[in-house]
Amino acid sequence: MKTITIITILFLGFHMILQGDEPANLQFAGVKYHLASVELGKDDSITNEYVPAGQNLDSWTTLIAVRQWTNAKDIGDAAKPWLKMIRPLLTKDVKVFNKPDSGKDDTDVVFEAWLAAPDKSYIEINLHRFVKEKGSDGIKAYQFAQKVLISGGKSDPSLFVKNRTALFNDLAKLQISPVKKKE
């Protein structure tokens, strides 16, 4: 019986590797996330969005997204359109951080962007890492987003600020292949 169990586990593991399947769940900063959305773009991009267990795309408090632009040659091909899209929503200037070990070729860059929700009910704080990964086509982006509710015209981003360094470190460790369809 033990041999059958081991063979089954090995078979399933090889199946996942050969098919390129990613789990529908991931853990980030101590929180379990589940795959909530898969979107295929007209530009051949793939976007997977993960939200905490028990939440959905309407009720999320934090969100992890993985995007891949298979045709992009450098980070600017992916980052420039994203920056143009978010510019009208910015509540403060975007900060840019190069990963210390990425060298001078800018193959791993993190943007910190604070965006106002369209209805002004919250601020969405984003850490958006654009990276050219070895062995992967094009450019990937890993996003951590946190909603900070606004009450009485004020918000309290202190939890994000307190955890910023740990979030940067966790974001730097992500290496996920996006899936093309939700199971």
Q: Is 161 exposed, middle or buried (0-12, 13-18, 19+ CB in 10 A)?
A: exposed
120: phi then psi, degrees, rounded to nearest 5 = 60, 20
Question: pLDDT at position 12, please?
Answer: 37
Considering the domain boundaries, does residue 128 fall inside one? yes
Question: pLDDT at position 104, please?
Answer: 54
Residue 80 pLDDT > 60 = yes
Considering the domain boundaries, does residue 9 fall inside one? no
Considering the domain boundaries, does residue 3 fall inside one? no
Considering the domain boundaries, does residue 53 fall inside one? yes
In the block, which residue shows the tokens 């059958």?
4
How many separate domains does the chain show?
1
CATH number for the domain that contains residue 102: 3.40.1000
Question: pLDDT at position 113, please?
Answer: 97
Considering the domain boundaries, does residue 55 fall inside one? yes
Q: What is the percent of the chain where pLDDT is above 70?
A: 83
Considering the domain boundaries, does residue 18 fall inside one? no
pTM to 2 decimal places: 0.83
Considering the domain boundaries, does residue 10 fall inside one? no
Considering the domain boundaries, does residue 39 fall inside one? yes
Total Cβ atoms within 10 A of residue 20? 10
Of 4-8, 23-27, 91-95, 170-174, give the lowest mean pLDDT range.
4-8
161: phi then psi, degrees, rounded to nearest 5 = -60, -40
Of 81-90, 104-113, 131-140, 151-160, give the lowest mean pLDDT range.
104-113
Question: pLDDT at position 44, please?
Answer: 84
Domain containing 42: what range?
A: 24-173
